[in-house]
C-alpha cells in the first residue's frame, strides 16, 4: 500500500508514525514544500528572538525517517487527480498513491485592504514567513501588527525583542474576545501595554501606504490616524490551505469536509489538522480547530482509517494554552466569553498581581463544572480535564481545588481565596479540604 501524505506538520507526521506502527509494510511518502523535516511550528517565534535555532525545533533526528521507512519529498503539490490517484507537482513530476492524507495546514487570512500586497506586509505561519520577516524587519524602526489573537501578540513580542517599536491594532475593546471573558481580556490589555506596546483598541486597519519604491511606509486606521511603519504583520486569523484542491472532486467548505474517521467524500482520501472541517463536530468542539494537539489527534485518527482499522475521532476535553508576553493562560472545557443563561461563573482576581481563576458551572445539576480558565497561574491538565469529563459538581471541585495546583510546594496558592469568593457569592460556608496532602487528593480524584 502506497500512502501519500501532503504536509509535514503535526497532523501529517503523527499520521505517518501511526501508519508505520499499524502497517509495517506500507510505503509512506510525506510531501512538503516548506521544509525538509518536521519541526515545531509553535517555536518559530523563538528562532526570530534568538532563543532557538531551526535544528532545536526538530523533535526527531534526521536519521529517524530512514530508520522508520518514511520517505520525505520536498515538492509542491499543484493538483490532485483523485480519478487516477495521482499527485501533480510544480516541478512536473507525479506520484501515484493508494491512500492519500491531506494535512496541508493553514494560510494567513487577509481582508482585501488597499495596499495589502505592497512589500513589507505579510502574515506569519510558515518557515518562509519567518525568512520574509527576518529580511523585512532589517533596519525597521516601527512596525504595526493587525489582529487581537495569539499570533498578533507573538509578533509584537518578537519585534519588541529587537527593539522595534510596535503598534498593535485590535478591533474589539479587549484582547482575544473570541476566547477570553472581559475581565481576563482587560488584564491582557494592561499586560501588553506594560511591555511598551502601543495597543490601540477598537481600531482597525483601513489602508497600507507605500513609499516611492513600493514598500510600506505607514498605515491608516479606520479613525483616520496615520502610523509610521516599515513592516506590517497581518494576524487576523488563518484559513485552511485548500486552494489546490479545486477540480479534484473532494468536497470542501471552509476546509476539507470529513466524517468522524477523517474520511472525505472521495474513497481513500482523508484530511487532518488545520485544513480539515468536521461535518458533524464532536460535542463542544468547532468544525475547524487550528490547534496543535487537535492536529495530533486528527493525524492518529486518520492513520487508523488509512490502514483499514477505522476508529472515530473522540477528542478529550477541550484545552488550550498560550503566553501573552510573560502572562500564562490556560483554558479547559467549553468557556463562553459571554456567560450563557444556563451557566454560573465564579471569578477571583488577585488584588495586586496578574493572577485570576475562573470556574464556570451549570445553574442546574448541582452545579456541574463546565470550564476552567486561569491567568498567571498554572493548573494540572489531568485534574481539570478529569473534573470536566466526569461532570464533577462545583462544591466538590472547590473543596479539592488544591489538587489542581501545578506546583504547590514552590508557588503561592490561591485556592482558599476562590473558595472564600464562592462563599460570599452563595452564602455557603464551604471549606478547602486540607485533611490530605495534595498528592493523595490527586490520586483519589483522578483514579491514578
327-334 mean pLDDT: 97
- Residue 382's H or E segment, with its range, is helix 381-389
Q: In terms of domains, do 355 and 414 share one?
A: yes
The closest of 254, 237, 270 to 101, measured between CA atoms, is 270
Residue 238 has pLDDT above 70, yes or no: yes
Q: Determine the angle formed by the axes of helices 381-389 and 438-446, rounding to 10 degrees.
A: 40
Give Cβ neighbours of residue 353 (< 8 Å, ≥ 6 apart): 376
pLDDT at 206: 98
Instruction: Report the mean per-residue pLDDT for the chain.
Output: 95
pLDDT at 413 (0 to 100): 85
Angle at 296 between CA 293 and CA 298, to 5 degrees: 110
- Is residue 365 predicted with pLDDT exceeding 70? yes
**pLDDT above 70 as % of the chain:** 96
This model's pTM is above 0.85: yes
Mean pLDDT, residues 405-416:
81
Write down the pLDDT at residue 252. Answer: 98
**Residue range 14-25, pLDDT digits in tens:** 999 999 999 999
**Contact by Cβ (8 Å): 71, 60:** no
Q: What is the distance between the alpha carbons of residues 377 and 56, in angstroms, rounded to a whole number?
A: 27
Residues 182 and 77 in one domain: no
Instruction: With a cut of 80, say whether residue 410 has pLDDT above it.
Output: no
Q: Is residue 426 part of a domain?
A: yes
Kindly tell me if the per-residue pLDDT of 187 is higher than 70: yes
> pLDDT tens for residues 272-319?
999 999 999 998 899 999 999 999 999 999 999 999 999 999 999 999
CA 137, 323, 297 angle in degrees (round to 5)? Answer: 105
pLDDT, residue 409, reads 67
d(CA 120, CA 113) in angstroms, rounded, equals: 14
C-alpha cell at 69: 521507512
In this predicted structure, the answer to whether residue 30 has a pLDDT above a threshold of 70 is: yes
Q: Give residue 222's domain range.
A: 121-236
| Average pLDDT estimate for 131-144 | 98
Q: Which of 178, 207, 236 is the last residue of a domain?
A: 236
CA distances from residue 416 to 398, 419, 422, 425 in whole angstroms, order as listed: 9, 5, 10, 14
Q: Using pLDDT thresholds of 50, 70 and 90, give the confidence band for residue 438.
A: very low
Rounded mean pLDDT, 344-369: 96
pLDDT at 38: 97
Same domain assignment for residues 274 and 352: no
Q: Flag whether 423 is in a domain.
A: yes
- CATH (domain of 96): 3.50.50.60
Domain end residue (candidates: 280, 306, 332): 306
In 312-364 the beta strands, taken as DSSP E runs, fall at 319-324, 327-333, 343-349, 356-362
Q: What angle do CA 19, 20, 21 make, to 5 degrees?
A: 90
The verdict on 359 and 219 lying in the same domain is no
Closest CA to 95 of 9, 29, 38, 24: 29
Mean pLDDT, residues 316-342:
96
Is residue 212 exposed (0-12), middle (13-18) or buried (19+ Cβ within 10 Å)?
exposed
Reported as a pLDDT band with limits 50, 70 and 90, residue 442 is low
DSSP 42: G
**Do residues 195 and 263 both lie within one domain?**
no
Q: What CATH number corresponds to the domain at position 399? A: 3.30.390.30
Task: Identify whether residues 425 and 355 lie together within a single domain.
Answer: yes
Tell me if 99 sits within 8 A of 306, measured CB to CB.
yes
214, 236, 258 - which closes a domain: 236
Q: What is residue 443's predicted lDDT score, i.e. its pLDDT?
A: 55
Do 70 and 128 belong to one domain? no
pLDDT > 90 fraction of the chain, expressed in percent and rounded: 92
Q: Same domain, yes or no, for 329 and 434?
A: yes
- Check pLDDT > 90 for residue 134: yes
In a domain, 116, yes or no: no
Number of domains present in the structure of the chain: 3
Based on DSSP, count helices (H) and strands (E) in the chain, helices before strands: 11, 25
pLDDT for 444 beyond 60 = no
311 lies in a domain?
A: no
Question: Looking at the domain assignment, is residue 113 inside a domain?
Answer: no
Task: Looking at the structure, tell me whether residues 34 and 91 fall in a common domain.
Answer: yes
Q: Return the pLDDT at 437.
A: 47
Amino acid at each position: 500500500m502506497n500512502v501519500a501524505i501532503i504536509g509535514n506538520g503535526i497532523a501529517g507526521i503523527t499520521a505517518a508514525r501511526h501508519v508505520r506502527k499499524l502497517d509495517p509494510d506500507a510505503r509512506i511518502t510525506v510531501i512538503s514544500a516548506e521544509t525538509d523535516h518536521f519541526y515545531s511550528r509553535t517555536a518559530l517565534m523563538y528562532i526570530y528572538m534568538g532563543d532557538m535555532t531551526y535544528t532545536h525545533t526538530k523533535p526527531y533526528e534526521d536519521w529517524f525517517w530512514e530508520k522508520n521507512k518514511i520517505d520525505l519529498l520536498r515538492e509542491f503539490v499543484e493538483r490532485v487527480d483523485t480519478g487516477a490517484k495521482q499527485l501533480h507537482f510544480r516541478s512536473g513530476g507525479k506520484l501515484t498513491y493508494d491512500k492519500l492524507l491531506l494535512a496541508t495546514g493553514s494560510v494567513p487570512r487577509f481582508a482585501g485592504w488597499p495596499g495589502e500586497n505592497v512589500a513589507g506586509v505579510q502574515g506569519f505561519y510558515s518557515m518562509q514567513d519567518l525568512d520574509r520577516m527576518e529580511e523585512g524587519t532589517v533596519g525597521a524602526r516601527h512596525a504595526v501588527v493587525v489582529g487581537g489573537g495569539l499570533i498578533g501578540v507573538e509578533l509584537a513580542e518578537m519585534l519588541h525583542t529587537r527593539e522595534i517599536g510596535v503598534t498593535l491594532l485590535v478591533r474589539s475593546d479587549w484582547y482575544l474576545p473570541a476566547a477570553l471573558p472581559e475581565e481576563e481580556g482587560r488584564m491582557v490589555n494592561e499586560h501588553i501595554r506594560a511591555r511598551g506596546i502601543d495597543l490601540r483598541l477598537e481600531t482597525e486597519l483601513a489602508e497600507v501606504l507605500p513609499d516611492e519604491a513600493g514598500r510600506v511606509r505607514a498605515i491608516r486606521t479606520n479613525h483616520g490616524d496615520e502610523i509610521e511603519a516599515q513592516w506590517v504583520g497581518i494576524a487576523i486569523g488563518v484559513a485552511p490551505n485548500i486552494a489546490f484542491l479545486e477540480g479534484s472532486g473532494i468536497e470542501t467548505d471552509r476546509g476539507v469536509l470529513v466524517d468522524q474517521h477523517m474520511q472525505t467524500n472521495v474513497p481513500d482520501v482523508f484530511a487532518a489538522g488545520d485544513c480539515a472541517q468536521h461535518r458533524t463536530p464532536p460535542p463542544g468542539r468547532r468544525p475547524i480547530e487550528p490547534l496543535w494537539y487537535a492536529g495530533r489527534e486528527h493525524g492518529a485518527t486518520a492513520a487508523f482509517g488509512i490502514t483499514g482499522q477505522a476508529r472515530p475521532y473522540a477528542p478529550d476535553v477541550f484545552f488550550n494554552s498560550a503566553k501573552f508576553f510573560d502572562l500564562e493562560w490556560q483554558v479547559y472545557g467549553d468557556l463562553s466569553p459571554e456567560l450563557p443563561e444556563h451557566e454560573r461563573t465564579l471569578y477571583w482576581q488577585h488584588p495586586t498581581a496578574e493572577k485570576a481563576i475562573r470556574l464556570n458551572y451549570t445553574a442546574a445539576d448541582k452545579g456541574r463544572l463546565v470550564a476552567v480558565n486561569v491567568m498567571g497561574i498554572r493548573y494540572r491538565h489531568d485534574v481539570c480535564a478529569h473534573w470536566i469529563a466526569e461532570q464533577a459538581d462545583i462544591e466538590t471541585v472547590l473543596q479539592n481545588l488544591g489538587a489542581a495546583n501545578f506546583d504547590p510546594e514552590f508557588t503561592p496558592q490561591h485556592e482558599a481565596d476562590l473558595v472564600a469568593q464562592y462563599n460570599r457569592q452563595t452564602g455557603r460556608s464551604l471549606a478547602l479540604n486540607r485533611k490530605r496532602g495534595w498528592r493523595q487528593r490527586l490520586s483519589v480524584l483522578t483514579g491514578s
